[in-house]
């Protein structure tokens, strides 16, 4: 095991479960002090206990990524606990799927508020503190393949995920001169509570048939690329959206075993 993040302060939002928890665990196992930020005290406590049991160093802050004061408390909590902030992973999100004609204004506001505004608040608060501390840093925004390959029923989610990419790319340009690298990851389908399709009797097979690797990702398979983007191995990568989807978004896989090849008359 390497210790790539020894001495660093890391904030992970939505760290109580799923991709955020796996990311927090990976950072802690590589020597970072990790501030677990999220909505639910119970799941954060649970994740923190597991990290500490493995010898890792972490603290928790309970709060909402869509509230500026809560985000500022998370960044301040990281600095108070570990002396500095080097990494922000803006991961917290929700996925509200509804037929286009049924969507409500309140649901739109909540999805965009958490995913897009919450991402902007996390990136801004972390970067402001890094600049004050006089060093660079790394920030990763957890978007989705939905940012560029929208899904039916996902008007809120699709819009939120592409909005996050715009936040990431703008921040990347403005913060790179200050030594802060901002990147994103775009996971495909990951086995977490946010993606019930992984357990759905019909949709499960539809998504699997479209995923050339033939399975869904485990949360740690998204966490590891996030750590890569924050590591020195990615020292010249900024403004990049790293797709981690088992080739799900490359194209439409079709079975090749269809009998005799079909050759249109025009090419005979």
By beta-carbon proximity to ligand NAD, the closer residue of 109 and 132 is 109
Cβ partners under 8 Å of residue 41, min gap 6 = 60, 62
Query: Taking CB under 6 A as the rule, does residue 40 contact ligand NAD?
Result: yes
Q: Quote the CA–CA distance of 188 and 247 in Å, as a whole number.
A: 8
Candidates 58, 66, 75, 226: give the one binding ligand NAD (CB under 6 A): 66
- 248 in active site: no
Q: Quote the CA–CA distance of 201 and 267 in Å, as a whole number.
A: 42
Query: Taking CB under 6 A as the rule, does residue 163 contact ligand NAD?
Result: no
- 43 in active site: no
What kind and span of H or E run contains 42? Answer: helix 41-53
Query: Taking CB under 6 A as the rule, does residue 77 contact ligand NAD?
Result: no
- Binding segment for ligand NAD among 49-57, 80-88, 170-178, 185-193 (CB under 6 A)? 185-193
Up-side HSE of residue 34: CA atoms within 13 Å toward CB? Answer: 35
Q: Are 74 and 92 in contact (CB under 8 A)?
A: no
Cβ atoms within 10 Å of 241's Cβ, excluding its own:
18
- 161 in active site: yes
Cβ atoms within 10 Å of 88's Cβ, excluding its own:
34
Candidates 76, 79, 81, 94: give the one binding ligand NAD (CB under 6 A): 94
Q: Are 50 and 16 in contact (CB under 8 A)?
A: no
Candidates 52, 128, 135, 193: give the one binding ligand NAD (CB under 6 A): 193
| Catalytic residue selected from 29, 43, 144, 248 | 144
What is the set of active-site residues?
144, 157, 161
Residues at the interface with ligand NAD (CB under 6 A): 13-14, 16-20, 38-40, 43, 64-66, 91-95, 114, 118, 142, 144, 187, 189-190, 192-195
């Amino acid at each position: 095991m390497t210790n790539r993040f020894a001495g660093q302060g890391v904030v992970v939002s939505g760290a109580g479960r799923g991709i955020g928890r796996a990311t927090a665990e990976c950072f802690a196992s590589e020597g970072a002090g990790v501030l677990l930020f999220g909505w639910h005290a119970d799941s954060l406590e649970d994740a923190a206990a597991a990290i500490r049991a493995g010898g890792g160093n972490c603290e928790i802050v309970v709060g909402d990524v869509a509230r500026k004061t809560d985000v500022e408390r998370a960044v301040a909590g990281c600095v108070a606990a570990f002396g500095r902030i080097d990494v922000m992973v803006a991961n917290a999100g929700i996925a509200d799927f509804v037929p286009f004609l049924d969507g409500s204004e309140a649901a739109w506001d909540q999805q965009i508020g958490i995913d897009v505004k919450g991402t902007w608040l996390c990136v801004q608060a972390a970067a402001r503190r890094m600049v004050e501390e006089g060093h660079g840093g790394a920030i990763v925004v957890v978007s989705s393949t939905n940012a560029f390959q929208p899904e039916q029923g996902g008007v809120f989610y699709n819009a939120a995920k592409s909005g996050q990419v715009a936040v990431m790319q703008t921040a990347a340009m403005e913060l790179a001169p200050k030594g802060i690298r901002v990147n994103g990851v775009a996971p495909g389908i990951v086995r977490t509570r946010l993606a019930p399709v992984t357990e759905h009797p019909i949709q499960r097979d539809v998504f699997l048939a479209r995923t050339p690797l033939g399975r869904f990702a485990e949360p740690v398979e998204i966490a590891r690329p996030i750590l890569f983007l924050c590591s020195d191995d990615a020292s010249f990568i900024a403004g990049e959206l790293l797709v981690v989807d088992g080739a799900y978004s490359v194209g439409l896989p079709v079975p090749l075993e269809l009998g005799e090849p079909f050759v249109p008359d025009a090419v005979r």
